[in-house]
Chain A
């Protein structure tokens, strides 16, 4: 069985490669390359897979999931400029893809079996663009 928890955070970012001209970056990332930055209301869906505990009837304690998501994602990301304030995005371009990879890295160690395993990270940059990452094998 799978359970999905959804959270939101709002951040600003710039998608541009160092050493490239503004025109080159615009060709690569479109409007997201604006050097002054812009922002999104991100929505993150985190799916945990496991079997419901025969006593509690729960795969995982959702209060605990909420705390983990707050600690690893909402608190560091919300109302921040990702390029300036949230490593590794000082060195890694904060595309939606790279953000999903980073969120997976942060969350996976918290779900190691007893409280389910991390199944999927789905990150919406806008309603019209989202990425899904299910770990190395996917």
Chain B
């Protein structure tokens, strides 16, 4: 069985690569290259996969998952500038592809061994742009 929990954070970013010229950055990232940045209401879905505990009827301890994801991600990303204020994104272009991969890696790194497996991370940048990462799909 899979259980998915949805979290939200609002953050700003600017898509700009130092490897590219101004013109190339503009051509590549368009409006997202605006030097003043812009922001999104991100939705983060965390999916765990495991069996249902016969006593509790749960796949996972939900309050513990909420505490973990809030501490590792939501409290550190919400109302922040992703280019400037999130250490693991320093020096990276915070496209949602990159943000998804970094969040997946951070959750994997701190994931307690006794928990059911982290099946997938999915991020909605807007309601129209959706990104997924799992161990199988990097």
Contact = CB atoms under 8 A, between A and B. Distances in A.
Interface string B1-28: 1111111000000000000000000000
Given A127-B6, A129-B4, A131-B2, A101 B52 contact: yes
Interface string B54-69: 0111110111000000
Nearest to A97: B52
A130 to B, nearest CB: 5
Nearest to B60: A97
Contacts, number: 56
Interface residues of A, number: 23
Of B5, B7, B58, B61, chain A has the most CB atoms within 10 Å of the CB of B58
A131 B57 contact: no
A60 interface: no
A100 interface: yes
Given A30-B62, A95-B56, A95-B57, A128 B1 contact: no
A93 interface: yes
B57 A92 contact: yes
B57 A93 contact: yes
Interface string A91-107: 01111111011000000
24 contacts: A17-B56, A28-B56, A28-B58, A28-B61, A29-B62, A29-B63, A93-B56, A93-B57, A95-B52, A95-B58, A98-B52, A127-B6, A128-B5, A129-B4, A129-B5, A129-B6, A130-B3, A131-B1, A131-B2, A131-B3, A131-B59, A132-B2, A133-B2, A138-B1
Interface of A: 15, 17, 27-30, 92-98, 100-101, 127-133, 138
Q: 3 shortest A-B CB distances, which residue pairs? A: A128-B6, A93-B57, A95-B57
Interface of B: 1-7, 52, 55-59, 61-63
